Structure 1
Amino acid sequence: MAISSRQTATLALAHALSAAEHGLPVIPLSPTKLPALRSPHHDDVPGTPRCRGECGRPGHGVHDATTDPARVRALFAAAPWATGYGIACGRPPYHLIGVDLDTKGETDAGAALRELALRHLFTLPPTVTVLTPSGGRHLWLSGPADVVVPNSASRLAPGIDIRGTGGYLVGPGSVTAHGAYRLAEGTGRLPPARCPNALLALIAPPRHTRPAPGGHPAGGAGLIHFVLAAHEGQRNTRLFWAACRAYENGLGDALAEPLVTAAVRTGLTPEEARATVASAARLTTPA
């Protein structure tokens, strides 16, 4: 069956309406996975202020995303060639974060994510998982309302893309030029799981934190306590994790020596501790 058939378009609308009913803002997508509606401003004079839907006309990509069934129907009526739908990320109620795991060529993004989880001490809970036509997976996570997660491609590791605010995920049931997106068995009834704090720290911009009066920078005491609580076999891993968080949040220079001191108290040598902190600094400092 051709992907532009009337039946495929009808199914796309049905899936989009179901997603909207569950609180997920949606837009129609073309077989290329791009927004199906052309911008109404493509002929505007260069330099015209960018419109994000304030004009009231459709064609603003993810800014058109809605949960209103009447508006969803209107968007799909304006794009009868749509064969799928996109789900806007970063919007209430879930503030969706998409973890896109690729499997092309020699890339094994799933293994890379497991390695990150081990290194940074987090566990991904069961959550909605969408299987892509290429053999990849989209993991849906719920983020906090006050954190803006940017979109990124292979920044965490090769083959791991993040869909955040301003981005969208191809919804299950969509049909593209390369095949259909479908829910992994057993995940369709799950809500998007809460994004682990350690993963959120890796994908969200660092928060600039003021020093606490008379002590370490705010948040620094918690990182030091985290290192001090390490048992044998955890010392280096905990120190590395804490140092990464410190540098990502602009506290690395202030906390480097206190973290080394804490690690030495747990049994590491000063040389081992400083080498681990230096490794964290290299990993988290942009080239």
Structure 2
Amino acid sequence: MAKVIIADENDGRRNLLANTLEREGFDVTRGSTMRQTEATALATMPEVVVMDAEWKTGDPIDAASRMMSDPEFSFKCRIVLLSRVTSTDFMSAAAKAGISEVLAKPLNMRKLIDQLHKHVRKEFVPPPADVGVIANREGTFDVGVGVGDPNWALPMLSNMLGSDIINDDFVASIAAKLEESNVTDKLDIEPAVLTEVLKAALGKLVEDGVSTDSEDVEDVSYESMKSSEKLGKKDSKKKSQSSSQKTGLTMDEMLQVQADDIAEEVEQAMDEVLGDLPDLITILPDDELMNVDPEVIRFTHLS
């Protein structure tokens, strides 16, 4: 029997909804206050928590956010909110709080029961709003990024598309490619023209890959083998790969090269820290030494 919590500070609505769901075979627990609802939900882990959006004390969206911050609760339970307000901002706030669904009032009881059965069976139910997969979570990485959402790569791509790369030469090379493709210099808003522009721009970015110059290959010697592969010596002659060398690498390889350059900078900084040697011990000359009675030394050992 599926467990459901009905959270509503209005006794009449709470009892009416609870009695209806009990007749449908749900194990219903009633909650009259927000604090009581949160404590009961985190203790019993019901399949669904049905909350009313109108409270004199407490905010249901904040309460839902606190409950969904519990890993076990967010994995096992779902929250359904009953609200008269269905504006875009309200739906976005509900989605960010982790609320699985918002049902508008006046409530269709048959629809509510059908949706509760879907939530109990852990079926997919569209969220209240599409707020994206990247949330403001510090120290975590959402596994959903990359599934139909390329926004995770924008910070890296923005560094690649700076003024040092997109300069006059870059624009001139794109214009030359457009002329080679028999595209007129008058750019109208047409799909064909825009497609050629995008192909030329992305092709130029991919062409500006990196390569390893054979003259910069480091000779293998005993001294080079002594240094760590990751934390090598600071004065190593191995040069970082430059994006100005053209080899036709893919975008993923270019991003990997940038990551390797950052790792090399970190390694050099670590070398400066790990290379610090402690101060040498100063040995006193004989004329500054102090004579100690052997009996005192023997007494010290005995004690």
Q: Same fold (TM over 0.5)?
A: no
Task: Bin the TM-score by the shorter chain.
Answer: under 0.3
Whose RCO is larger (CA < 8 A, sep 6+)?
Answer: 1
Structure showing greater Rg: 2
Larger helix proportion of the pair:
2
**TM-score when normalising by structure 2:** 0.23
